[in-house]
Each structure stands twice: as C-alpha cells, then as structure tokens.
C-alpha cells in the first residue's frame, strides 16, 4: 500500500514539470560532469491520496554525497524513504520531489546551502548562506532556497540527484535574480551544509506533505568536517517545546513548516537577513513604535539566530523595550526559569559545541541578553574592581571571561542563581516520619532534618516550619479533591466579601526529641475547640491577619458549604515548608506525608503530576510558596479563591489557565485572567503562552514507570472542574454544567468512549 501512495505522489509532482536528467556524482569533492539535457515533459493525473494517507506518511532522507562542479552549482545525491505511521513494519520506497512545480499550492522540495565562516579576533564562527533574496520588501537579503531551475533526477534505483540552479562560486556569473549581488566567498576547505525539506501539496490534494529538515555537512575539497557550530540542539528545545516543528506552525502560517531542526534554522537566520536594512535606534532604551517591525535594532540584527534566541528567552527581563521582529515581541515572552541556566539550551550531551558560551564568549552573544551594554562606547560596561575598557573586538573576551579567568562568565552567572532557582543549593531537607491524632483530637507531626548528609538536631539551625493539613474527599463525579483543615476566610478589599483561602500554620508547639527528631503539635485555631481536629466543622479565620478592619467579625464568619468534618478513616495529608537559618535565611526542601488517622495503609490518594514533570521547563524553580506539587495542593484546594478577584486558585484551575494564557477562549474573546489584579495586575496571565503543544496533555501528565498514582486521571476520569479550566468559552462551560452532563463527563469522554478525551487531544 505504501508503494501505491508514493507512486501517486510521484505522478502528481510530475504534472506540468520538465523532469531533467543528470549524471550522478560519485566520490568526494571536486568538479563533476555538467547536467545532461532535459528529458521530455510528463503530464499525469492529480494525486489520488486521501488526506489521512498523506498525513500518516513519515519521510526520511539520506544524503550520500555533495559535490561542487566547475559551474559552482552543487550536486546532491540522496535517497528518500516514506512509511505509513499507522501500519506496523510498513514497506518503504522512494518518492520524487522538486521545488516550485507548476500546479502545486506550495513547494515540495526546498534545497539551500551555507558555509561556516571562521571568526576573527576570537569572534564566533558564523553560518553564511549562499542563496539570498533580491527583493524590494522586508525580506530583501534574507537567505532562501534554490530557484525553480534546479534539476532533479530519478536514478531508478531509489536514489536521486539534485543539481542546484544557482552557482555558489564567486568567480563565475550567478545569473539569478534571487541571488544577492553581495556574494559569500566560496572557500572549498570550509565546512559547508546542505539542508532541504519536503513541504507542499501534491496536485489535487488538500492535505499537505511536510517533513523535518534533512541536513548534511561536508567539505567540498574533501575530508570530514572538524570545524562545526552546533551549540544548541533540537532535543534541548523540545524539553519545553514538545515538538519544535509543530509549535512553529501553530499560527497557521507557511513560513516555518518543516523547519523544526535548529541546524536548519541557523542556515536562514544569519546576519544577512538584516544586512540591507536601516538601523532603528532606541531612545533611552525604548524603540519608537512597538507595532512597527524592525530587523536591525541598535545595530543588532535581531533575526540572527543567536541574537534572536537569546532575546526571545530573555523576554520580559530585557532592559530595552518595544522590540518587534516581524510581529515577535520579545518583551512579552516570560521564560519559565532563570536565564542564568545557560546549560538548559547549551547542553554538551546533545550539541557538540554547546560549551562555546563559556569557551568562546563574545560581545554578540553576551550583548544579546545584556542589551543595555554598548561595547563601542563603554556605556554600562562594568567590572567589580575597575572600569571596563571599551571593546572593539572579541579578542579579550575569553581572557577575562573564559574558564578560570578573573571574571569567569559561568562562575559569575552561577553566583547570581538563587536558592529559589536552583535545587542543588537547597541542601537542607526534612522527612516526615509519621502523624498521630490523640484522644483529644490533637494532631502531632514527627519529622527529622538533614543538611546534606548530616543529621540536624539543633532546632536553631532552621526556622520554625509552617504546616498544612488536608483530607481527601470523593466527589459526586467520582473524582477526589483535597479539603483543608487549616484554610480560612480572608479579604484584602473592604468592598469584597471574605473568600476561602488555603493556609498553613506555625503557631503550634515545636519540640526537639531525645532521639534527634522533632515534633510539631498543631494549634488548629479554627476549631470550635482550639487544637481539636474533631471540632473543625467549617473553615473560619481566627485572627485579624490580612483582614480589612471592621468589615466582619468572628460572630458572622461565612458558614459552609466548605464543611471540614473530621473523618478519621479517610486519607489525610500533612505538609511542611521551612528555611535554613543563615545570612540570609534560605529555603529548605519541602516535605509531605499521607496517613490515615485510625492507622493502616493509605489506599486512596490524589497525585496527578509531580514537580519532576515541571522541572523540564521550570528547572526546580520555586513556584510561589513551595517546590512540590504535593505540597501546593495543601493550600490550592478546589474551594479556594483569590482574595482580591474572587478567581479560583484551585491548583488544577490555576495551572491549566496560566499555561493556556493567551490561548484561553475567554481571553481570545476579550477577557483576561489575572490574580491579585487589585494590586496592579501583579499576576497577569493573559499574555502567557505555553511554549509546547497545548493538546499534549502528557507533557505534564506523565504516565508509566515512576509516575504518580493518578497520572491518567485526565483521560480516565475527566471532570467538569478540570475540563472547563482550558475550555472556558461560554458554550463549553454551559455544556459542561448542563444538568444532564455535569458530573458525568466519563460517559462520553472516558477511555474508549464516543468522544474519548485522549483521542480528541491528539
């Protein structure tokens, strides 16, 4: 069947196209024979492939050789295989593609070529593309792919040859309108890179064929490239972006289809893209118009890959404002961890030259993040001991900022990473050994503390911990939720009624035990009998902390429906947060413990995700008040709300909505999602955008070995409360809350049901 699919594609591609013959090249670099005369035109019927048949094709290519003949037009020898991803062990065969074929809605094959130009004065090596646009619009000078005079040959044995229509040699006439007059010097001993993609519609087909880029590095003069510049990898990108190729096409545009490989990106995002554009200068660090795209900002070509990537990820932390690169507004991007973790992207395990950031520091790389520095004038250049000299080249960068140097850039970055941003710096931790409930309803936690591997027995070495206490309740929809015993009602706005918020306490009794452990007995001031968990029938506030004076009194605390009846046979959870005493005090790692007050094993719990899943993007960064999701749920229960806006701060609501951000239907309809907006919108999630695939629920809800107990809940036990956090349009909310559907989502959206939640998120 695969062969039939591919044969259909080949015939469709051949429509109205002059298929040229070409003698292949064997061996390494050097001159090869010129292409032979064109073969007769072929005209065939439109493609008979269905959209699903095309969608399920996975293409792979193998470039076996590239040579540069005397005319300077590269000749590429390669093979392509395709496999239907829906069929196990499907057979493979080759298909024929060419660029800019008459009758196609797009391009089917795009070839481009670049060379790695060595840096001077310790400056970075730079990829330069031989093929550049010659236009009068904003794309003038930008690298492009070979034009339609390229010659593709089917060798009849599953292999193909493509001869460029454009010469890359600077000593022969180019004769192409797409090639910019300022040529890149051809040096056959330099590393070169060929890249191409399969991308377009077969004639008569609605579905689009798209492949990842195919890359081949070579030296025209022969030999294996030893000088490369692969300093970041697609694998590193996908730790946050899930699938770079798909994420780049979310806007629905055609520019980035089939371009999800960093090695291909750098072939077009070169300095050439802004070489002909006028510079736009900032005034006091602000560019004139945030809605006017620019390509050269304060003499930086901001579409140049290393500059663009640094600025995008630096985002809201950039000093200068109103960046706009073809609609990409760098200042609106919020990176989910500290930008001081250079190794997050520059990972030597997946990118051979990832250490360039420390071994070959440059003004270009450093200045793209530290964008307030002007190396030419010395503005904002600083050193701890003396004024920094003006730098007109990169020759001294490594001398001062290289490995082991006086101002080693890696060491300087590391020194600025806080305990809240780096788990390795949180050396102190606790282990909760058990929880007891005595005959009087008193709740006591026993725990031990370590600093590294050393047991801590002196309670003056850490601050008094804060503890939270919850129980697990099963709802009418079959889903479990945590309910807090330590929550209370509070308000910060005299015009707003008190709302329920999850809280912790640290007013109880802390005791150092003879065996080196510690005990904490809860105060439980919100019990009718203080300290007695059996008397907490509702949550209320037992102090005036954070309240607007005289707005309400203990005599009229809100009652229910948030009942916290003590049920000793249910699963309970206690959690603690504390700090290591120092100058200043620094956070210790959190601890949590599930237990059943009457004793026995915990058989029911609710653990959906773990912070280990969050680490791939957030790198162990402190998210609000805790480091562990299991601790977050102590306060962020289903019934809790923001004391200023009334918005739900239930953890699943909060996490889903802030990751959806600008993609929320309610936001697209003109709404917003803010927490604490009465203080000036300090938590405005309206502009946030998750960097990965939103429909890939398993990016966070990881299942399998070592996964949380309830990791599959999103698909096995869908609930109204969870689904409408993302699907928050008026119609979706009405559907979910309809009396006939509410609390019965599993009937339609459970596994293998008519509208299986997992299936519709694929």
How is the chain split into domains, by residue range?
A: 2-229, 279-417, 423-599
pLDDT of residue 451: 98
pLDDT of residue 94: 32
Asked if residues 311 and 302 have their Cβ atoms less than 8 Å apart, the reply is yes
Which pLDDT band holds residue 604 (cuts at 50, 70, 90)?
Answer: very high
Res. 329: pLDDT tops 50:
yes
- Rounded to whole angstroms, the Cα distance separating 688 from 706 reads 30
| Residue 53: φ, ψ to 5° | -65, -40
- Rounded to whole angstroms, the Cα distance separating 275 from 62 reads 34
Tell me the DSSP string of 698-731.
GGTS--STT--TTTTHHHHS--HHHHHHH--SHH
Which of 366, 413, 405 has its CA nearest to residue 123?
366
Q: Return the DSSP state at 286.
A: B
Q: Return the DSSP state at 462.
A: B
Query: Any residues with CB less than 8 A from the CB of 15 and at least 6 apart, and which?
Result: 42, 43, 44, 45, 46, 101, 102, 103, 203
Beta-carbon-side half-sphere exposure of residue 305 (alpha carbons within 13 Å): 22
pLDDT of residue 738: 85
Res. 11: pLDDT tops 50:
no
Which pLDDT band holds residue 660 (cuts at 50, 70, 90)?
Answer: very high
- Name the pTM for this structure: 0.86
First to last CA, the chain: 25
- For residue 729, the Cα-to-chain-centroid distance in whole angstroms is 25
Which pLDDT band holds residue 362 (cuts at 50, 70, 90)?
Answer: very high
Which of 727, 649, 650 has its CA nearest to residue 695?
727
Locate 46 and state its tokens. 């439109």
Per the model's pLDDT, the better-predicted residue between 366 and 137 turns out to be: 366
- Rounded to whole angstroms, the Cα distance separating 657 from 677 reads 16
Burial letters 692-727, b for 16+ CB under 10 A, else e: bbbeebbbbbbeeeebbebbbbbbebbbbbbbbbbb
Work out whether the CA dihedral 492, 634, 574, 627 comes out positive or negative: negative
- Radius of gyration of the CA atoms of the chain, in A: 31
Angle CA(96)–CA(100)–CA(102) in degrees, nearest 5? 90
| Residue 29: φ, ψ to 5° | -80, -170
- Rounded to whole angstroms, the Cα distance separating 616 from 107 reads 35
The SS3 of residue 250 is coil
Peptide bond into 561 cis (omega under 30): yes
| Residue 14: φ, ψ to 5° | -75, -10
Locate 196 and state its tokens. 């191409």
Longest distance between any two alpha carbons in the chain, whole Å: 98
Asked if residues 196 and 112 have their Cβ atoms less than 8 Å apart, the reply is yes
Which pLDDT band holds residue 103 (cuts at 50, 70, 90)?
Answer: very low
Range with lowest mean pLDDT among 69-83, 276-290, 352-366: 69-83
Asked if residues 598 and 568 have their Cβ atoms less than 8 Å apart, the reply is yes
Q: Which H or E run contains 364? A: helix 363-369
The SS3 of residue 127 is strand
Which pLDDT band holds residue 250 (cuts at 50, 70, 90)?
Answer: low
Which of 6, 7, 17 has its CA nearest to residue 43?
17
Residues in the chain: 762
pLDDT over 70, % of the chain: 79
Range with lowest mean pLDDT among 41-55, 57-71, 302-316, 659-673: 41-55
Query: Any residues with CB less than 8 A from the CB of 706 and at least 6 apart, and which?
Result: none
Res. 144: pLDDT tops 90:
no
Res. 106: pLDDT tops 50:
no
- Rounded to whole angstroms, the Cα distance separating 400 from 384 reads 12
Res. 687: pLDDT tops 90:
no
Region label for 126, one of left (φ > 0), alpha (ψ between -120 and 50) or beta (otherwise): beta
Work out whether the CA dihedral 368, 372, 378, 382 comes out positive or negative: negative
Res. 85: pLDDT tops 50:
no
Asked if residues 220 and 168 have their Cβ atoms less than 8 Å apart, the reply is no
Tell me the DSSP string of 211-241.
---EEEEE-TTSS--------S-HHHHHHHH
> pLDDT, tens digit, for every residue of 195-230?
998 776 665 666 677 788 999 999 999 999 999 999
pLDDT of residue 356: 94
| Residue 214: φ, ψ to 5° | -110, 130
């Amino acid at each position: 069947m695969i062969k039939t699919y591919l044969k259909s594609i080949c015939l469709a591609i051949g429509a109205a196209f002059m298929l040229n013959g070409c003698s292949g090249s064997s061996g390494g670099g050097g001159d090869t024979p010129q292409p032979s005369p064109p073969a007769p035109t072929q005209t065939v019927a439109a493609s008979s492939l269905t959209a699903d048949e095309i969608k399920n094709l996975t293409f792979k290519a193998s470039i076996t050789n590239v040579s540069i003949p005397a005319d300077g037009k590269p000749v590429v020898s390669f093979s392509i295989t395709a496999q239907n991803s829906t069929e196990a062990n499907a057979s493979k065969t080759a298909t024929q593609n060419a660029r800019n074929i008459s009758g196609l809605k797009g391009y089917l094959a795009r070839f481009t070529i670049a060379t790695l130009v060595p840096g001077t004065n310790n400056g970075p090596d730079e990829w330069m593309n031989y093929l550049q646009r010659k236009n009068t619009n904003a794309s003038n000078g930008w690298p492009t792919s070979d034009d339609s005079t390229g010659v593709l040959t089917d060798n009849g044995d599953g292999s193909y040859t493509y001869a460029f229509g454009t010469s890359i040699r600077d000593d022969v006439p180019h004769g192409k309108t797409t090639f910019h007059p300022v040529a890149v010097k051809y040096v056959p001993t330099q590393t070169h890179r060929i890249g191409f993609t399969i991308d377009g519609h077969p004639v008569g087909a609605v579905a689009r064929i798209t492949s990842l880029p195919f890359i081949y590095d070579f030296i025209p003069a022969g030999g294996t490239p030893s000088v490369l510049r692969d300093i970041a990898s697609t694998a590193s990108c996908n730790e946050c972006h899930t699938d770079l190729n798909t994420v780049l096409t979310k806007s629905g545009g055609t520019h980035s289809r089939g371009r999800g490989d960093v090695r291909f990106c750098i072939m077009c995002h070169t300095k050439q893209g802004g070489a002909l554009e006028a510079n736009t200068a900032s005034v006091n660090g602000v560019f004139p118009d945030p809605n006017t795209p620019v390509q050269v900002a304060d003499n930086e070509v901001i579409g140049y890959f290393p500059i663009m990537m640094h600025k995008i990820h630096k985002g809201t932390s950039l000093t200068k404002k109103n960046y706009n690169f073809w609609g990409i507004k760098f200042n609106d991007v919020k990176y989910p961890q500290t930008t001081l973790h250079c190794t997050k992207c520059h990972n030597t395990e997946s990118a051979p030259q990832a250490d360039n950031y420390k071994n070959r520091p440059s003004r270009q790389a450093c200045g793209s993040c530290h964008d307030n520095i002007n190396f030419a004038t010395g503005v904002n250049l600083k050193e701890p001991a003396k004024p920094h000299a003006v730098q007109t080249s990169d020759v001294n960068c490594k001398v001062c900022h290289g490995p082991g140097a006086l101002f080693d850039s890696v060491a300087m970055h590391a020194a600025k990473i806080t305990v809240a941003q780096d788990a390795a710096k949180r050396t102190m931790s606790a282990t909760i050994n058990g929880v007891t409930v005595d005959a009087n309803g008193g709740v006591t936690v026993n725990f031990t503390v370590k600093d590294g591997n050393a047991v801590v027995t002196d309670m003056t070495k850490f601050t008094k911990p804060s503890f939270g206490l919850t129980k697990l309740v099963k709802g009418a929809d079959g889903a479990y939720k945590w309910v807090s015993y330590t929550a209370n009602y509070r308000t910060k706005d005299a015009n707003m009624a008190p709302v329920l918020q999850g809280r912790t306490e640290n007013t109880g009794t802390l005791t150092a035990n003879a065996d080196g452990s510690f005990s904490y007995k809860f105060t439980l001031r919100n019990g009718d009998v203080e300290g007695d968990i059996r008397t907490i029938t509702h949550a209320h506030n037992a102090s005036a902390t954070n309240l607007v004076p005289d707005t309400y009194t203990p005599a009229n605390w809100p009652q229910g429906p948030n009942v916290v009846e003590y049920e000793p046979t249910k699963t309970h959870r206690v959690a603690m947060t504390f700090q290591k005493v120092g100058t200043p005090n620094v956070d210790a790692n959190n601890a949590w413990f599930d237990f059943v007050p009457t004793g026995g094993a915990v058989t029911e719990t609710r653990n959906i995700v773990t912070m280990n899943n969050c680490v791939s993007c957030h790198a162990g960064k402190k998210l609000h008040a805790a480091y562990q999701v299991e601790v977050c749920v102590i306060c962020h229960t289903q019934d809790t709300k923001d004391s200023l806006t009334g918005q739900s701060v239930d953890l699943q609501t909060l996490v889903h909505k802030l990751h959806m951000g600008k993609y929320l239907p309610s936001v697209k309809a003109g709404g917003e999602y803010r927490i604490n907006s009465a203080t000036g919108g300090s938590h405005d999630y309206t502009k946030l955008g998750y960097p990965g695939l939103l429909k890939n629920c398993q990016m966070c809800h990881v299942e399998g070995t070592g996964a949380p107990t309830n990791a599959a809940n999103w698909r096995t036990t869908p609930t109204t409360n969870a689904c409408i956090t993302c699907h928050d349009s008026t119609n979706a909310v009405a559907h979910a809350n309809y009396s006939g559907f509410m609390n019965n989502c599993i009937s339609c959206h459970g596994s293998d049901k008519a509208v299986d939640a997992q299936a519709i998120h694929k």
